[in-house]
Structure 1
């Protein structure tokens, strides 16, 4: 089983069906003990300091973990991935492009997925069989999501962690399935989390994962992680095939499509406020303009860069935001 790096969520059904082991380069980067070494390696090789830390981290993770093949999403995710592709190719790494089509329609999505599976000589029947298998595991991650927002037993960080790992299932479907089952059993034995404020987190998964713990100091609980939830394809039961399932995946398409789902979840989960995380030097920062206009809910924008910890300024802004929400709710 060969490891194949991926730059974000892709139709991993194809890779698993052919017997490969997908490895999300983002996860390899951010969970490394010395994650900063990956950034330093990229900058030493010429990546500008004014470029996204995730791109540099993925580059370093790929080289340091001896990954020789990478599937890069060149449309529908990071605008820098195409350039990353070229640098990886120059380093002798085989790259495979995948593009979420700008034309957000079933015919275009079908063409993109068919082109991708043909790169690996995988039949549609094999892909569909694997989709059904993976959706069994995705359902378990969705159960942790339910235990977060409906029963208030899972933490915001657990919600983030177990959904985000559905990008690659840690490269081992059976092992990850067992891990999820054990975690669900443990969570169900807990008493509900008693927090006054219910928060949503939208935007790319954070560099600063300590944000989940920090908000709890102010009687707040993050009960919605937008993009992480999308990694689980939570509406998979409504899809008859892989084409419909990936058509319904909100993150790579236009912001209007994403916002429709965000607004549904804001109402369903009875949120008091939103944290919108943006990454320094990312084109998605600009979307914050529209998001704040569209969401009828107090929204705080947090901008991360290289650090895995909130700095003092971020903490101060977050604390002020939570104090404001508390005043609005009358809980301070």
Structure 2
């Protein structure tokens, strides 16, 4: 029997499918949700919490990434658990300990009923190769950033159907892109569903989406390989390692500037001054709260940032 397993942040979708279940990244419903959370710190977790508890999301169980990524998810996940949804708590090792990572994956597999289809590891590994190739098309100015972002962000759950998702990847148009500046988007993804389209409209070609890139960067064809890869999930460890990865990607992708998206009441907001001190690029910091279309103020700031980058030597 295939159950729908809600996931609150990145876990290996390979493992969920190998246990013959279907993952659902609950974050992907948030930007277009009409829910007005009853109580909240971060709107991301409050919205998916209420979507689940009010019946808007039909899941059989929930995996809460409670350590190493999102702090607010721990409490909102417990609220869901108290409502009667079977819930498992998953913790990344801050020190990158491979044995601890392996134990967490083993515990997750146990919660999901055990591995039944090892071939799914290789199937999804092949899809991630396609994702990396698509990401490179964007770097090479041969795919629109909004199309690529929509695909990469879906690698958290492969839209619940790997075979159908592969068809989606194969239909993404390859097209020459015109722009004025190349930018990177670091931090959590914007809660605004039209953010990438708005950036494109002002000539900003987003060639690096930090978090969605992690979705295709990490993987493995067996449990040992998954543990060795996912222990290096950048958001879950020391920020020094994350900065190193970002610097490498900014250089490889030849960016002109950086947009740091922060979410109201998210602990990652405190990282902004660290990034500004350690990234030698112009940085625009923007903050969002509730899911809604990009505001006129945000559009003005993106337009001004684009104009500034155009005149920089």
Same fold at TM > 0.5: yes
Task: Identify which of 153, 159, 162 aligns with 1:170.
Answer: 159
Task: Identify which of 14, 28, 34 aligns with 1:36.
Answer: 34
CA distance in 2, matches of 1:92, 1:214: 40
- Name the residue aligned to 1:285: 269
Say whether residues 1:155 and 2:156 are aligned partners: no
**How many Å apart are 1:147 and its aligned residue?**
0.8
CA distance in 2, matches of 1:2, 1:231: 22
- Name the residue aligned to 1:205: 189
Say whether residues 1:243 and 2:235 are aligned partners: no
Structure 1, unaligned stretches of length 5 or more? none
CA change 1:24–1:107 in 2 (3 A) is: same
Say whether residues 1:252 and 2:242 are aligned partners: no
Equivalence map 1:223-238=2 (5 Å): 223-233=207-217
Say whether residues 1:56 and 2:54 are aligned partners: no
Say whether residues 1:93 and 2:85 are aligned partners: yes
Q: 4+ residue stretches of structure 1 with deviation over 4 A?
A: 234-237
SS at match of 1:164: helix
1:126-164 per-position Cα deviation (integer Å, ceiling 9, x unaligned)? 5754222211111111111111012x1211111211001
CA distance in 2, matches of 1:142, 1:236: 14
CA distance in 1, matches of 2:312, 2:288: 27
CA change 1:121–1:217 in 2 (3 A) is: closer
Task: Identify which of 298, 301, 305 aligns with 1:314.
Answer: 298
- 8 Å Cα contact 2:31-2:192 kept in structure 1: no
CA change 1:235–1:70 in 2 (3 A) is: closer
- 8 Å Cα contact 1:204-1:279 kept in structure 2: yes
- Name the residue aligned to 2:135: 145
TM-score by length of 2: 0.92
CA distance in 2, matches of 1:196, 1:319: 11
CA change 1:127–1:328 in 2 (3 A) is: farther
- Name the residue aligned to 1:109: 101
Counting matched residue pairs gives: 309
- 8 Å Cα contact 1:101-1:112 kept in structure 2: no
1:282-329 per-position Cα deviation (integer Å, ceiling 9, x unaligned)? 010001110110100001101011133221222222222221111104
**How many Å apart are 1:234 and its aligned residue?**
5.6
CA distance in 2, matches of 1:98, 1:73: 5
- Give the alignment's Cα RMSD to 1 decimal: 1.9
CA distance in 1, matches of 2:278, 2:117: 37
Q: Which moved more, 1:276-285 or 1:14-23?
A: 14-23
**How many Å apart are 1:251 and its aligned residue?**
2.2
TM-score by length of 1: 0.87
Structure 2, unaligned stretches of length 5 or more? none
- Name the residue aligned to 1:122: 114
Q: Determine which structure has greater relative contact order: mean sequence separation of CA pairs < 8 Å that are 6+ residues apart, divided by chain length.
A: 2
Say whether residues 1:69 and 2:70 are aligned partners: no
